[in-house]
Structure 1
């Protein structure tokens, strides 16, 4: 996996962009990503025990974030939140994978549990960009209609 500092930089860039230029859905997903990262950091096992068994704290955080993403997706009029919820579901399956196979290597379990946050953040960036551009076009059309 990528170094933690690189992840934090990507998280800050994606969520900062969403907070500055996004609408309600973008900001809620960004807040959930930041909150989930902070909560995960608090509940992770010590480094020497990390991902050796099921990370129950991380599982709880992942399921809570999944619920948040599903609620956002069900209330949104856009498609991108469905992708975010689906990828978070895939993240949650990493815990089920460890539960079914206790011999799963800690590195594989950890990678499966952490990988999908990168595409989630990328989708947040793309969704925010497209929403921002859509709002700019609508404002421009409104101004042109008023001027005519």
Structure 2
């Protein structure tokens, strides 16, 4: 019974992330597209990791999961610093908790595997919820006021394509 719930939970989570990604591609701006793509990418990386490694016990530091969480943190942090939105900060903060779980596991081996698993996995649910709320807010705001800047002022140059050279003469 518990295994059935666990598989259903994973299928629901994957389906929701893919649905958010599709909606972000259609109605979202670049921050929504990048963050939803990063979440789907994290799911794909996790599925590939478990296809190669198999199941994990959380009794020791999970280097594969730690790598995935660090990469997702770096992506979400870079977006959060530049996006003209608040919810990416929640995603980056949740990922920081997930990264901290791996540091804590490496430093203190007496941590219970369930505590490690919860600290590592729960932030992803916060990420999905934050993306859902942020994407909904973006769609509503766009319908209400029209297009608005996706990035903070100075970061437009960072994300924009390089300017074309002017013809001389």
What TM-score results when the alignment is normalised by the length of structure 1?
Answer: 0.84
Q: CA RMSD in A?
A: 2.0
Is 2:71 the counterpart of 1:93?
A: no
Q: What does the per-residue CA deviation read over 1:78-112, in whole Å, with 9 as the maximum and x for residues that have no partner?
A: 11111111111011111112112212222221121
Matched position secondary structure for 1:116: helix
Residues 97 and 123 in structure 2, CA contact (< 8 A), matched pair in contact too: yes
Is 2:20 the counterpart of 1:14?
A: yes
1:55 is aligned to 62
2:144 is aligned to 137
1:35 is aligned to 41
Q: What does the per-residue CA deviation read over 1:33-86, in whole Å, with 9 as the maximum and x for residues that have no partner?
A: 011111122224432x43121111111111111110111011111111111111
Unaligned runs of 5+ residues in structure 2 are 147-169
> 1 or 2, which has the higher helix percentage?
1
Matched position secondary structure for 1:53: coil
Using the TM superposition, give the Cα deviation of residue 14 of structure 1 relative to its aligned residue in structure 2, in angstroms: 2.8
Using the TM superposition, give the Cα deviation of residue 10 of structure 1 relative to its aligned residue in structure 2, in angstroms: 2.6
| Separation (CA, whole Å) in 2 of partners of 1:43 and 1:115 | 19
| Separation (CA, whole Å) in 1 of partners of 2:134 and 2:102 | 28
Unaligned runs of 5+ residues in structure 1 are 140-148
Using the TM superposition, give the Cα deviation of residue 6 of structure 1 relative to its aligned residue in structure 2, in angstroms: 2.4
| Separation (CA, whole Å) in 2 of partners of 1:94 and 1:23 | 31
Using the TM superposition, give the Cα deviation of residue 24 of structure 1 relative to its aligned residue in structure 2, in angstroms: 0.4
1:142 is aligned to none
2:118 is aligned to 111
Using the TM superposition, give the Cα deviation of residue 118 of structure 1 relative to its aligned residue in structure 2, in angstroms: 1.0
Using the TM superposition, give the Cα deviation of residue 128 of structure 1 relative to its aligned residue in structure 2, in angstroms: 0.9
